[in-house]
Amino acid sequence: MILPKPVRALALASTVLIVFLMFQLLKRPPPVKEPRIIYPDMKTDPNLEETHEPEGKLWRADDYAADNPNSPRINATILSLVRNEEVNGMVQSMRDLERTWNHKFNYPWTFFNDVPFTEDFKTKTRAQTNAPCYYELIPKEHWAVPNWINHDLVRESGKMLAEEGTQYGNMISYHQMCRWNSGKFYHHPALKNVRYYWRVEPKVHFFCDVDYDVFRYMQDHNKTYGFTINLYDDPKSIPSLWPETMRFAEAHPEYLKNDTDNARAWLEDKQRRPEHNKNANGYSTCHFWSNFEIADMEFWRSKAYEDYFNHLDRAGGFFYERWGDAPVHSIALGLFEDASKIHWFRDIGYQHIPYFNCPNSPKCTGCRKGLFTDGEDFLYKEDCRPNWFKYVGMG
């Protein structure tokens, strides 16, 4: 008996569908991209080990209500340099940090912009927190290109940086931002009576519940700076930064900590990526990725750092090259501060595309333990944590 043509077509389609479904069920799932490391002397990523809170005294979320004038909060703020058009990305970052930490401690948010904040920005950000929010305008003299900078040279340098593929090399506002973050933000009148800050940028993620006051931790344990991610920089952006630093150090040896106490070896390493050290003229380019930093502004306000920043500022590299606040902060910390006062917040899960700090902790969700990047494999070579662990440790 010959089946009607439509029936035969339906039977054939059903057979093909069954075969396809069986294939999907039986085929092997694609391999999961496991976290890995690139350096053989770091046998395993420390974030694969079980992660705990820091040792010592910790302040818990008792009496930290936003309206409690007698709370244990100290003079600290969450700080963000952000544009009005970045409000949605800022809201996302706020939701993450409020959910994992600040809804318990209610530290204020302080936002900075070189133009006035819109009412839309203020309304949307205030809705994310019970803590006070402050909206500050950067003084023109803190943001403007200094009068000793040659604008023609800046334009030519920007073209060269762009031709070399240096990211943001030809964007003057990026240079202004780096300079402000390096040596101006802590002079803003709104921060006059503030000592500690937690820097937060738009479009970042926080993954882990943090159940202690991080600012109190910094104060009680005499910590100057806290980081999560430690990277190499692009040598093309900072070729004269280290030579200028050495000129300053030779003129001011009194500011240098003893090499047995500081992190100079981390700054000068040339074993892992010798081409970086060569192209940066003696600097490994290792730095703390400063889009996350929890720090004591008394260090930036110190005579050593102020003199160092002013020396760099006069040299012009914030505009003739693309000196970033991350290497400037890191070099100063590595030379002028005891390494023991720099803390790796390994228990704070964090992402700023494309890098992660992912602890192995039941307090973390949405972050695969030990993951450094979910990008291409070549990004793993940008991880400078092995150098930090080698020369300083994991404190």
Q: How many CA atoms lie within 13 A of 43 on its CB side?
A: 1
CA distance linking residue 330 with residue 333, whole number of Å? 5
Q: Two tokens at 72?
A: 């244990």
Q: Two tokens at 3?
A: 């089946």
Closest CA to 290 of 245, 236, 328: 328
Please pick, among 293, 321, 337, 382, the residue that the annotation labels catalytic.
Answer: 293
Closest CA to 35 of 347, 386, 357: 357
CA distance linking residue 246 with residue 248, whole number of Å? 5
Strands (E), 127-255: 133-137, 196-199, 205-206, 225-227, 230-232
Q: Two tokens at 148?
A: 């000793």
Q: What residues contact residue 310 under an 8 Å CB cut-off, 6+ apart? A: 183
Is residue 293 part of the annotated active site? The answer reads: yes
Q: Two tokens at 177?
A: 């931002």
Q: What residues contact residue 347 under an 8 Å CB cut-off, 6+ apart? A: 51, 52, 53, 54, 208, 210, 359, 361, 363
Which burial class, exposed, middle or buried, applies to 349 when counting CB atoms under 10 A from its CB (0-12, 13-18, 19+)?
buried
CA distance linking residue 312 with residue 152, whole number of Å? 20
CA distance linking residue 98 with residue 111, whole number of Å? 15
Q: What residues contact residue 244 under an 8 Å CB cut-off, 6+ apart? A: 311, 312, 315, 317
Which residues are marked as active site? Answer: 293
